[in-house]
Amino acid sequence: MNYSQTLQYLYEKFPMFHRVGINAYKTDLNNTIDICNFFGNPQDNFKSVHTAGTNGKGSVSHFLASVLQEAGVKTGLFTSPHLKDFRERIKINGKEIPEKYAIDFIEKNKTEFEKIKPSFFEMTFGLASKYFNDEKVDVAVIETGLGGRLDSTNIITPVLSVITNISIDHTNLLGTTIERIAMEKAGIIKPSVPVVIGETQEEIEDIFTNKAESQNSPIFFADEEFEIKNLSYKNQKLVMDVLKDEELIFNSLQSELLGFYQAKNIVTALKAIDILNENGLNISGNNINSGISGVIKNTGLLGRWQMISEKPLTICDVAHNADGIREVVKQIEQTTYNKLHMVFGMVDDKETENIMNLLPNEATYYFCKANIPRALNERELLFKAKEIGLKGLSYSTVKLALERARQNAAPDDLIFICGSSFVVAEVV
């Protein structure tokens, strides 16, 4: 098998949630346990940090990995979904897992996998665990896929758990209320393992504190200790002052990630770093400065308020639920442009109307369908848009939609691409 044949085998043989949806979701951890047992439980042989949450867990995971790398820690990073190449999901010190390792992993263990019948994500987590163990990483930052309690990654016992924020998403799997979703995410809290909550949300605060208390786990709310002030742009970086317990600890901290919403994620990462230092790591202020300012360079993160071109200004973001869309719309309102062009597509298990009601009325829309089975039909998006007064046309592909937006946009306009990570994947 070559690499492309290996990928084809993975996609065809093992159901992938991000492509086919709920049919790939498992309601227990048995397959993951079986895979990891088969390999001698490699996930138990390295330290890990476990991240969950509705929005921000990917950015926080990348910030942490970048800072750890700057501190000289050999760092594994497991995230999902990928945008361009499957190997983005599994990295060590920012370098993707080699093609040969992935090929050999499948070729040597096909028979066992076909007995277990795992999902794509279960298989991928097994691959990451074995790779991180074989390469003797010092710490692996492990991002959950969906939820927490039943997520394949939840067989690890980390040195730290991190939960970023909770909002309504994946209601067909995790529950229809923020409280129910919070309970699922709280499932990553382990006995005596400290947990950092990134954002204090009054309606669910007790869910996390009660769960932590029941597990004898120290709990910390990052935004109660850290505060961001003077957020601005400078030299194509997001710049901010950081206060801890009302004292300035970072003057003009810079981030390569330009979304204003990254302030919350940086606060979460900073508190996590505090806990890691208390548990034996030696991460300096210089490491933090370098890690946050160089997160894209160090980890290759894509699709977070990412500028694709300047004239017209073209930006994409993987925001795909109500809270995520709300954050990017807030930043669009603070961006200078003449006219707004929105290239927009969604998958079919989202709360479409709630999300579309948050979109700017004054934009011209280019509704499109990403090239995956779960993508919502572009004509259905257009129909829903017309019902709420949004103006635009539909296009059968993301490429066509972006081409038309570029044809219509003047140099001082803004083209913004969002709604689904799969739409963004086709433009970065």
The pLDDT tens digits of the residues spanning 86-129 come to 999 999 999 999 999 999 999 999 999 999 989 899 999 999 99
More confidently predicted of 172 and 334: 334
Among 286, 315, 281, 336, which residue's Cα sits nearest to residue 141? 281
Among 67, 60, 49, which residue's Cα sits nearest to residue 132? 49
| Residue 170 binned pLDDT confidence (cut-offs 50, 70, 90) | low
Tens digit of each residue's pLDDT (9 = 90 or more) over 1-57? 899 999 998 888 886 644 444 444 456 799 999 999 999 999 999 999 999 998 899
Q: Check whether residue 65 and residue 108 sit in a common domain.
A: yes
Q: What DSSP designation does 57 have?
A: H
Q: Check whether residue 322 and residue 263 sit in a common domain.
A: no
Q: Check whether residue 281 and residue 415 sit in a common domain.
A: no
At 57 the pLDDT is 95
Q: Check whether residue 92 and residue 139 sit in a common domain.
A: yes
Residue with tokens 């961001």: 228
Q: Check whether residue 255 and residue 146 sit in a common domain.
A: yes
Share of the chain above pLDDT 70, in %: 94
Q: Check whether residue 196 and residue 321 sit in a common domain.
A: no
Q: How far apart are CA 61 and CA 77, in angstroms?
A: 8
Among 150, 118, 134, which residue's Cα sits nearest to residue 31? 118
Share of the chain above pLDDT 90, in %: 83
Boundary of a domain, candidates 235, 264, 299: 299
Tens digit of each residue's pLDDT (9 = 90 or more) over 261-276? 999 999 999 999 999 9
Boundary of a domain, candidates 273, 299, 325: 299
Boundary of a domain, candidates 239, 274, 299: 299
More confidently predicted of 167 and 315: 315
Exposed/middle/buried for 223, CB within 10 Å: 0-12, 13-18, 19+? Answer: middle
Least confident stretch, 154-163, 178-187, 320-329, 343-352: 343-352
Residue 204: CB atoms within 10 Å: 22
CATH code assigned at 95? 3.40.1190.10
Q: Which residues sit opposite 219 in a β-bridge?
A: 195
- The boundaries of the domain holding residue 106 are 3-299
Q: Check whether residue 294 and residue 413 sit in a common domain.
A: no
Q: Check whether residue 326 and residue 241 sit in a common domain.
A: no
Q: Check whether residue 277 and residue 344 sit in a common domain.
A: no
Least confident stretch, 18-27, 108-117, 132-141, 230-239: 18-27
Contact 402, 427 (CB under 8 A): yes
CATH code assigned at 367? 3.90.190.20
| Residue 153 binned pLDDT confidence (cut-offs 50, 70, 90) | very high
Q: Check whether residue 7 and residue 74 sit in a common domain.
A: yes
Using N-to-C axis directions, what is the helix angle for 262-278 and 57-70, rounded to 10°?
50
Query: Domain count of the chain?
Result: 2
421: left (phi over 0), alpha (psi -120 to 50) or beta: alpha
